[in-house]
Structure formats: structure tokens, C-alpha cells
Amino acid sequence: MSKNYGPRRGSAAYQALEQLIVNGGMATRAQLSTALLSHFRSASRFEQLVVEPLVDNKMAREVGDDAIEITLAGRAHVDASILAPAPAKKSSKPVPARSAPEFKPLRPEHYARVQEMRPGSLDYRKYPSLMGGVRVPYRSKS
């Protein structure tokens, strides 16, 4: 299980922390929800995704019924994530093209020969086939 160090960059809770810093450390729930321009369908969803994670991680505290205030831990989290470099992308080195394997023609001695398993099993070779209305005698492919 991974450790929970707080909200990730780009999440609604992290954006709320940034908005709290912009607002001077304190904002109402209405100010935060309008500033985030998010698609919260209800106040309970906003509480679940923004307020509860911040309060649980002690990065914000509720002041009164409607206001939320950022704590020192919240300021430190935002400052640390701003100063920390973004994770570097893996550099993909070009891979040399693979060459195709050398061409080896098929060799008939590697295949099993057709043997008569029981009397009459190769009788189909005696009878001609119909191809386009013309009778064609059996011809082996070898």
C-alpha cells in the first residue's frame, strides 16, 4: 500500500489548496466551488472530493459553518510540489530495425510422404475432377 502524502497535482483538492492560497488563506465553500469551475453535481460531491481529503490530511480546517482555512501543512504541501520538478518523461532511444531472417525455400523431404493407410484410401486420384465444366485428371503437386 502506498503512503498518502496529500492530494496530487491537478486534483480538485489540490486546486482548492492553490485557490485558498490565492484568496489569502481562507475562502467559503461557494467561492471554492465556483473558482474550481468543476463539474460537481452536488454539495455533497464537493465535500467528498475536496473538503474531506484536505481536512483528513490536516491541510485545511473548517472555520464556522461555511469557511475553509488552509493550514501550515497545506501551504508546505503546495510549496513543496511547486518547487519539486515534474517527473521526467522516459527518453525513448531509437531501436535499430531488425533484419528479416534469411529466406529458406521449403524442402519436400521434411514433409511426410503420402502413404496408403488402408486399401482404397488413395482411390480419389483415379477419378477426374470437374473444373469449369471440364474433366481434369488428378495431378500431384510435387
CATH number at residue 42: 1.10.10.10
| CA pair distance 85, 91, nearest whole angstrom | 16
Would residue 43 count as lying in a domain?
yes
What rounded mean pLDDT belongs to the chain?
80
Q: Where are the beta strands (DSSP E) in the chain?
A: 26-28, 60-63, 67-70, 129-131, 134-136
Would residue 107 count as lying in a domain?
no
Q: Residue 2 — very low, low, confident or very high, per pLDDT cuts 50/70/90?
A: low
Q: Could you list the residue range(s) of the whole structural domain that residue 43 is in? A: 12-83
Q: What angle do CA 80, 86, 89 make, to 5 degrees?
A: 160
Number of domains forming the structure of the chain: 1
What tens digit of pLDDT does each residue of 56-99 get? 989 999 998 889 999 999 888 888 766 556 666 666 777 777 88
Would residue 5 count as lying in a domain?
no
Would residue 134 count as lying in a domain?
no
Site of grid cell 522516459: 90
Please tell me the pTM assigned to this model: 0.53
How confident is the model at residue 61, as a pLDDT?
92
Whether 1 has a pLDDT exceeding 50, the answer reads no
